[in-house]
Amino acid sequence: MTKVLAINAGSSTLKWKLFAMPEETVIASGLVDRLNLPGSVFKVKLANGKKYTETQDNITNKLAAAMVLTRLKTYGILSHLSEITGVGHRIVAGGELFKDSAVITPLVLKQIKALKDYAPLHNPVQAYYIEVFEQLLPEAKQVAVFDTSLYTEMPAVNYLYGIPYEYYENFGARKYGAHGTSHRYVSSRAAEILDRPLADLKLITLHLGSGSSVTAFDHGHALDTSMGFTPLDGVMMGTRSGEIDPSLVAYLAQKLDITMPKMIDILNHKSGLLGVSQLSPDQRDLEKTQADRPQSKLALDMFVNRVVRFVGSYVAELGGLDALVFTAGSGENGIAMRQAIADQLGYLGIAIDPAKNDFRGKERVVSPDDAAVKVLVVSTNEELMIVRDVVRLT
């Protein structure tokens, strides 16, 4: 048995899971939240169900990584850090350089840093954690797992924009997508549940949460995806606008007398469900208030509308559909949301059995037994995908 650590670092959080491989069992997991802020929170959950929480002001990125390893020893999970033989890092942007996960070398690390323009909030901090864990675990193999690698071989007709071609050649202006690690896991898991080879299936996977994206798989290959050059494009999300006319963006920046970066920040952090509802980015809050607040209902209806649009267009691209797969926070737990989306797609043979759909957070086929298109709920597991890649490459 070997122990492999999956690191999922955000701009203000550090999520991690320690796996026993090849058994693929989770030994421990945790979250460090509010990094570099007052009231930083460090949480650990062990395989036996025990949970530990610590609060400390201004936990730095480096201290967070050190605390993960020291607490694993404190709680008796590790007797020595050398037991960890591999570390997998989720990296948001790999551009066109990385068509697969990669063992981290000095060159790979340099390239990850150079791709910061494609993910300015994520790539720099993720590169930093690579360097920190190289110091803390010098004997462990480190692997970068890229969110974008799934989409590097999409057809050019889908990844290019209708702009001068030299902008793609000179500046890398194309659709890169996101959530690729989640979509990759969910598509393969759905094929297992259906007991069919992924290479035989036409699938659409719906990663619906605070950030949401839709991906079409044609016989095991990503055909198209909703997120674009950045995760701002695509369906409306918790705080992101999703697709929008760029002329409107310029118009609003002028009317508001703000810079374009400030306008983009509004589209990323103050739009979507939050912006429309003027209440919350959380679908649960909107569901509770939709009877009394028309804007809450409007925001939810717009979200369903945008998802349905993408599913419909992707079925047209695929020329048919074998299965529709829900995953992530809303996808796994949003009973009403799943039903609402399926109801609008009935003309495609998509249907949900309300009795089967009455659950949260499990894996299940929720379509009627005789449905032309299977509808599944699959729990995403990006960390498992990450450690599998570590084992595969090392």
362 in a known ligand binding site: no
pLDDT of 13 > 90? The answer is no
Q: Name the DSSP class of 226.
A: S
Q: Do 44 and 141 have their domain in common?
A: yes
Looking at the structure of the chain, the number of domains it has is: 2
Q: Do 118 and 226 have their domain in common?
A: no
Between CA 65 and CA 87 the distance in angstroms is 12
Q: Would you please indicate which residues are annotated as catalytic (active-site) residues?
A: 147
Does 113 map to a domain? yes
Paired tokens of 124: 């720099």
**pLDDT at residue 308, as a whole number:** 98
Q: Do 122 and 243 have their domain in common?
A: no
Distances in Å between the alpha carbon of 191 and those of 151, 307, 325?
19, 22, 10
Question: Which of 152, 167, 185 is the last residue in one of the domains?
Answer: 152
Q: Do 228 and 143 have their domain in common?
A: no
Between CA 352 and CA 358 the distance in angstroms is 10
Contacts of 118 (CB under 8 A, 6+ apart): 92, 93, 95, 148, 172, 176, 229, 230
Strand partners, 350: 373
Q: For 17-26, 59-68, 213-222, which range has the lowest pLDDT when averaged over its residues?
A: 59-68
209 in a known ligand binding site: yes
| Helix, coil or strand: residue 213 | strand
**Domain residue limits at 130:** 2-152
What does the radius of gyration of the chain's CA atoms come to, in whole angstroms?
21
Question: Which of 88, 118, 152 is the last residue in one of the domains?
Answer: 152
381 in a known ligand binding site: no
Q: Do 202 and 53 have their domain in common?
A: no
Degrees (nearest 5) of the Cα angle 76, 77, 82? 110
Distances in Å between the alpha carbon of 322 and those of 164, 203, 221, 368, 373?
36, 6, 14, 14, 5
210 in a known ligand binding site: yes
Q: Do 145 and 21 have their domain in common?
A: yes
Q: Do 121 and 54 have their domain in common?
A: yes
- CATH number assigned to the domain comprising residue 296: 3.30.420.40
Between CA 326 and CA 340 the distance in angstroms is 13
**pLDDT at residue 388, as a whole number:** 95
Contacts of 194 (CB under 8 A, 6+ apart): 201, 322, 323, 365, 374, 376
Does 394 map to a domain? no
Q: Do 223 and 350 have their domain in common?
A: yes
Does 391 map to a domain? no
Q: Which residue, 9, 28, 8, is CA-closest to 18?
A: 28
At 27-77, the pLDDT tens digits run: 999 999 888 888 889 999 999 989 999 898 888 889 999 999 999 999 989
282 in a known ligand binding site: yes
**pLDDT at residue 58, as a whole number:** 87
Does 192 map to a domain? no
344 in a known ligand binding site: no
207 in a known ligand binding site: yes
Does 186 map to a domain? no
Q: Do 140 and 208 have their domain in common?
A: no
Between CA 154 and CA 146 the distance in angstroms is 15
Query: Letter for the amino acid at 120?
Result: P
At 155-178, the pLDDT tens digits run: 999 999 999 999 999 999 999 998
Q: Do 148 and 279 have their domain in common?
A: no
Does 160 map to a domain? no
Q: Do 232 and 133 have their domain in common?
A: no
Question: Which of 98, 121, 152 is the last residue in one of the domains?
Answer: 152
At 351-390, the pLDDT tens digits run: 999 999 999 888 999 999 999 999 999 999 999 999 999 9
CB 283 within 8 A of CB 273: yes
| Beta strand extents in the chain (DSSP E only) | 2-9, 14-21, 25-33, 40-46, 51-56, 84-91, 102-103, 141-146, 202-207, 213-218, 221-225, 323-327, 364-365, 374-377
| Helix, coil or strand: residue 196 | coil
Does 262 map to a domain? yes
**pLDDT at residue 227, as a whole number:** 95
8 in a known ligand binding site: yes
208 in a known ligand binding site: yes
Paired tokens of 154: 């999409």
Does 90 map to a domain? yes
Q: Do 72 and 213 have their domain in common?
A: no
Q: Which residue, 44, 101, 100, 110, is CA-closest to 75?
A: 44
State mean pLDDT over 327-355.
95
